[in-house]
Amino acid sequence: MKHFLQENDFSNEEIKEIFLHAKTYKTDRARRPTDDLRGQTWGMLFHKNSTRTRVSFEVGIRELGGNPLILDQSSTQIGRGESIEDTIRVLSRFLDGLIIRTHGHEIIEKFAANGTIPVVNALTDFLHPCQIFADCMTILEKTGLSHDPFSLSGKKLTFLGDTQCNMANSWILAGAMFGIKICLSGPAEFSPSRKILDYLEKYKLPTTWEHQVDPKIAVQNANILYTDVWVSMGCEEEADERKRLMSPYQINEELLQMAGPDSILMHCMPTHPGEEISESVLASPQAILFDQAENRLHMQKAILRQLTQS
């Protein structure tokens, strides 16, 4: 049994197979149904609200011939204090797998450690691996490279804004795995946390990232500009201070021009136009946000297939 809690839970060969099948699922979606999850029921447990994650997983499970079952705290005994250990032991008797979107990363690790079914990280406060794999798929498409994510080696991605968020952490891991140069540009006090640095050490992954306080330096020679919201769920009390600190890191026309006409602009969505990104830049042909969102479907189908093959 295998889980997908973080980007490096799959071997290099498994990752290559996942990206190949994601490409095939996308190419063949309109003309060939699949039955890779036929007869299986996958639970989807949400501690956080969702649009893209919920819809892409639910549609993907159905397109693979499976049955999605939506769960949340208010409709289960989890909301009344039942332990994670008891919850996952029971769900393991009913389900073929469990997809979780939650807060602390330790929550999803506890689910995985105590169950007997595959667990998928659909987002935690620490990592967002499904989004990263879909984003890498999108970069490969837009840069004309093969489906192999390891061909991204040498590309430069500049992440601006909250450089301690789950997306920044996931790009640090992906950069180490695929050889992408990651330039994190945000306030000095938002340098990467000790936790993500410990992950690199634990798994003996190379350091391919740097932190740059000056956004104009950070975007130089960047192939990809990336940003996320400045105020994540759970940080609402810090909203005013975060906006003040991060205002110099808004992706606007000036920074986009400094990166160059061949750079692409990415955002995992939802966006807050006028905060982390300007409205004019969102309308730029260099912005590929909706291609990213679409590829969540194809990539997640490939991830689920891989877990059933393990």
Percent of the chain with pLDDT over 90: 88
Report CA torsion sign: 145, 151, 152, 155: negative
Confidence (pLDDT) at 37: 97
C-alpha to C-alpha distance for 164 and 191, rounded to whole angstroms: 6
Q: Kindly state the average pLDDT of the residues 207-226.
A: 98
Report CA torsion sign: 21, 71, 95, 167: positive
Which residues does residue 97 pair with via DSSP β-bridges, in sequence order?
Answer: 42
Residue 31 clears pLDDT 80, i.e. is over it: no
Based on DSSP, count helices (H) and strands (E) in the chain, helices before strands: 12, 9
C-alpha to C-alpha distance for 6 and 140, rounded to whole angstroms: 20
SS3 of residue 59 by DSSP: helix
| Average pLDDT in the chain | 95
Cβ atoms of 303 and 136 closer than 8 Å: no
Asked whether the bond before 270 is cis by omega within 30 degrees of 0, the reply is: yes
Q: Which ranges in the chain are annotated with CATH 3.40.50.1370?
A: 7-127+296-309, 130-291
Residue 233 clears pLDDT 70, i.e. is over it: no
Query: What would the pLDDT profile of 101-149 be if each residue is shown by its tens digit?
Result: 999 999 999 999 999 999 999 999 999 999 999 999 999 999 988 889 9
The DSSP call for residue 79 is G
Cβ atoms of 54 and 44 closer than 8 Å: yes
Cβ atoms of 97 and 66 closer than 8 Å: no
- What's the CATH code, domain 7-127+296-309? 3.40.50.1370
**pTM for this one?**
0.96
Overall CATH class of domain 130-291: alpha beta
Q: Which two tokens mark 289?
A: 């946000």
